[in-house]
Amino acid sequence: MHEFRYVGDEFYCEGVRVSDLARRYGTPLYVYSRKTILDHLTKLKKAFASLAPLICFSVKSNSNLSLLKLVTDHGAGLDIVSGGELYRARKVHADPAKIVYASVGKTRQEIADAIRYGILYFNVESIQELGVISDVAQELRKNVRVCVRINPNIDPHTHRYITTGTVDSKFGVDLETARLIFLNEPNFKRVSVEGIHIHIGSQITQASPFVAALKRALGFIDHLKRIGIVVRTLNIGGGLGIIYREEQPQTAREYADEILPLLRGRKLRLILEPGRFIVGNAGVLAAKVLYVKDTPEKRFVIVDAGMNDLARPSLYGAYHEVHPVAAPKSGKRAFLKKSDVVGPICESGDFLARDRQMPLYGCGDLLVVMGAGAYGFSMSSNYNSRRRAAEVLVSGKNACLIREREIYDDLLRHEKVVEL
Ligand code: LLP
């Protein structure tokens, strides 16, 4: 479900015309629907209600402060992966007791800051890291809790760049190492090893990889129990896929129906770390057509948004639907032609859509790239010295700017001209 649709010929986000937003705030523009975000959060909460899990929104998917405030005000915790994400969490006064921190490369400073803030768990990804966490905890005279991120070696059947739970990936530790960590807990002073964390990848559309990974984690928890170690927390990560094209991902309910029976009767505190599921289809990227260029091979629709604004198509070959903001009149529809929607960046890989049958766009027409709420703005860059886009949050008939478009001075802020 999402709140983007045509009313007549006009494309709306909730009760607001996207063409009005583009006029008011300019393009490229990220537009988010508050209702869609909350609807997805609620669906997940309801589906898992019997276990009342802690749902930690994955900040990397969209780290805008207003969105973090929105989800945390509605009970979500946060899944963070850097000092910068911790800083954002602090800015919105996120409850530290609902923050979990993963990453294979946490620095001493980041660890210290997170301990001082009093986060719930570090998701530990190596023995060395655990040693550093223990060191820092002793220096600060604070006790810390950790979950061990295990690598269950399950293939989630998604893009290889977003596969994280196979044996050849850098994430987590193998089960033997995890066992050693639990057995040696007393050697890691001020650290309490309380749980298991798994996250096998992202945009996973089938239940089977989740189930297989969970079974492996539960088997490991049972093994630990046999040797006298009690695991209290299980974090099953994120990864739930959404519809970009014709996928048939699981609904929250279907996902829960697969997961919950496996957890029944176990006294485990459950944590989820969804990102894409919450915000993916809650955002679009609006762009303006600058030029239309016909070649003997195909048509290029050149727009004012590029791979620096939305990297997913270039980076993963990801498919995002593209729609005109004003539905084309039937006359124009007759001119469907194979087209690429491309940006102004000086790279052939700078495309938002490829080989699509598209109506005839004219200069100044607006279009929207769908499913851009997750890993859209958060992965954007200043490549080609482009200013990053503005972001707008819509609620009913209201819209609020939640990030201003960058200005040229933003590009130069940290630079110096030196002559050597
Ligand atoms: N937990 C951990 C430890 C993660 O590494 C991730 C995502 C999540 C949770 C949230 O996963 P989600 O529910 O959003 O699938 N840039 C890529 C996706 C990278 C995902 C990285 N980790 C993309 O645009 O597809």
Domains and CATH numbers, the chain: 4-31+280-412 (2.40.37.10), 103-272 (3.20.20.10)
Could you tell me if 162 and 115 are in contact, meaning their C-beta atoms sit under 8 angstroms apart?
no
What is the model's pLDDT at position 348?
Answer: 93
pLDDT along the chain (420 residues), means of 10: 93 98 98 98 98 98 98 98 98 98 97 98 97 98 98 83 78 95 97 97 94 96 97 98 93 97 95 98 98 94 98 97 84 75 97 94 96 98 98 98 98 96
How far does residue 15's CA lie from ligand 1's centre (Å)? 30
How far does residue 339's CA lie from ligand 1's centre (Å)? 30
Residue 351 and residue 308: Cα distance in Å, rounded? 10
Three-class secondary structure of residue 44 per DSSP: helix
| Nearest alpha carbon, ligand 1 atom 19 | 162
End-to-end Cα separation, the chain, in angstroms: 58
Residue 156 and residue 388: Cα distance in Å, rounded? 33
What ligand 1 atom has the least distance to the C-alpha of 239? Answer: 15
Residue 167 and residue 150: Cα distance in Å, rounded? 10
Q: Is the Cβ atom of 275 under 6 angstroms away from ligand 1?
A: yes
Q: Is the Cβ atom of 151 under 6 angstroms away from ligand 1?
A: no
What is the model's pLDDT at position 329?
Answer: 66
* Token pair belonging to 66: 């207003």
**Most informative mutation of 60, 285, 320 for ligand 1 (most atoms within 8 A of CB):** 60
What ligand 1 atom has the least distance to the C-alpha of 312? Answer: 24
Three-class secondary structure of residue 175 per DSSP: helix
What does the CA dihedral 23, 29, 34, 37 come to, rounded to 10 degrees? 150
How far does residue 380's CA lie from ligand 1's centre (Å)? 15
* Token pair belonging to 116: 């001082």
Q: Is the Cβ atom of 58 under 6 angstroms away from ligand 1?
A: yes
Helices (H), 166-251: 175-183, 208-226
Torsional class of 239: left (φ above 0), alpha (ψ -120 to 50), beta (otherwise): left
DSSP character for 92? T
* Token pair belonging to 404: 């201003």
Q: Which helix or strand (DSSP H or E) is residue 127 part of?
A: helix 127-140
Residue 183 and residue 365: Cα distance in Å, rounded? 63
Q: Is the Cβ atom of 315 under 6 angstroms away from ligand 1?
A: no
Q: Is the Cβ atom of 82 under 6 angstroms away from ligand 1?
A: no
What is the model's pLDDT at position 333?
Answer: 55
What is the model's pLDDT at position 331?
Answer: 55
What is the model's pLDDT at position 135?
Answer: 98
**Most informative mutation of 41, 56, 61 for ligand 1 (most atoms within 8 A of CB):** 61
Q: Mention every residue, 6+ apart, whose C-beta is less than 8 A from residue 5.
A: 11, 12
Q: Which of 56, 346, 363, 400 is catalytic?
A: 346
Residue 325 and residue 315: Cα distance in Å, rounded? 25
Residue 416 and residue 39: Cα distance in Å, rounded? 46
Q: Is the Cβ atom of 276 under 6 angstroms away from ligand 1?
A: yes
Angle at 353 between CA 13 and CA 282, to 5 degrees: 25
What is the model's pLDDT at position 26?
Answer: 98
Query: Does the annotation mark 346 as catalytic?
Result: yes
How far does residue 10's CA lie from ligand 1's centre (Å)? 33
Q: Is the Cβ atom of 172 under 6 angstroms away from ligand 1?
A: no
Half-sphere exposure of 148 (CA within 13 A, CB side): 31
